[in-house]
Amino acid sequence: MKALEASPRAALALRPTPLEAMPRLAAKLGLGSLYVKRDDCTGLGGGGNKTRKLEFLVGEARAQGAQTLLTFGALQSNHARQTAAAAARAGLACHLVLVDLVRDREPAYTTSGNLLLDHLFGAEVTIVDSDAAAALATRRIIEAEQAGGRRVYVIPTGGSNAIGALGYVDCAFELSGQCDALDLALHTVVTAASTTGTLAGLAAGFAAQQREVRIVAVNVYEMDATKLERTFSERLAEITTHLGVEAASIGPVELRHDFLGAGYGIPSAAMREAVELTARAEGLLLDPVYTGKAMAGLIAMARAGELSAGTIFLHTGGVPALFAYREAMGPTS
Ligand SMILES: *Cc1c(COP(=O)(O)O)cnc(C)c1O
């Protein structure tokens, strides 16, 4: 599609990512078949969905002549880790402003997982305890970089703006092509949602192809359901305007708010069951913050008869965070 081809893009991801069958998990859930789109295998720095977004964001950063990337996230942000890796690959400096907000975390949360990798990729990490402190730190970093003659490219949380969402418009085309080649009807995609750029990109990408695909997005982020719905509407409006896609052609998107548990980054029993079931049935790793809760949603919906054969789980990555949840995910005895 024209808007995709015309956009500057950095080659960061291994594409296409595999589309695999999960026959043993399907059988356990009473589904005739179940597939996984392996966006945990995008390749860069541990993989995940942010790499597709970063191809377009880094493309634009380069086109603007930036030398430094700056972005935001939680302490265990996969987006921050993939941005740090993308900066290393693109030869750019990287500043991460991480907000320490998750309650009741264990010691590994502040030392291991994504945070350990951010340091390995050479990012400058600033940890703050509020959004106000993040805004102040951001201003200081930009001023210092500019004083040093370096142009800063600021990437929003989750890489979720119209430029980043192009990565998932592209993924919608990629997935359609794979399903067509396998003669697989593309009817339902289940995935996790936080900043909703992935969801908005997918929905716009299917609409651009006039394909009606049901998308089930499991809220893993926002206790206030209305707020997530508003965020999604805004992201969707941005990307449909950017592409010139008719908003009316967007297919059915179901936001599910019943698998978040006690909040963002807080483990739930259903998440743990989903991570274990998937690991033991398929040798496939999920994560405790995003894909574990999304799979908990898929499992509950399959058991309730709300999903049919041929459903596709979009695996958005996040596996490094497993190691920041040693106590929550380790042996119980
Ligand atoms: C960021 C992230 C998501 C959510 O993607 P959004 O576009 O922010 O909604 C899902 N899964 C993982 C592993 C992520 O890191």
Q: Which two tokens stand for residue 257?
A: 């708010």
Substitution candidate for ligand 1 out of 194, 233, 236, 314 with most atoms within 8 A of CB: 194
Residues 6+ apart with CB under 8 A from 215: 188, 189, 190, 191, 199, 202, 203, 206, 251, 252, 253, 254
Is the whole model's pTM more than 0.95, yes or no? yes
Ligand 1 lined by 292 (C-beta under 6 Å): no
Q: Are 151 and 143 in contact (CB under 8 A)?
A: no
The C-alpha angle with vertex 51 and arms to 81 and 55, in degrees rounded to 5, equals: 125
Residues known to be catalytic? 77
pLDDT value of residue 2: 84
Nearest alpha-carbon partner for 297 in 250, 332, 254: 254
Q: 3-class SS at 69?
A: strand
pLDDT value of residue 103: 80
Alpha carbons 304 and 128: distance in angstroms, whole number: 42
Average confidence (pLDDT) per 10 residues, the chain, 333 residues: 92 98 98 98 97 98 98 97 98 97 88 97 97 97 98 98 98 98 97 98 97 98 98 97 92 96 96 98 98 98 98 98 94 68
- Residue 5 C-alpha to ligand 1 middle, in angstroms? 24
Which residue, by CA, sits nearest to atom 1 of ligand 1?
158
Q: Which two tokens stand for residue 26?
A: 């399907």
Q: Are 106 and 327 in contact (CB under 8 A)?
A: yes
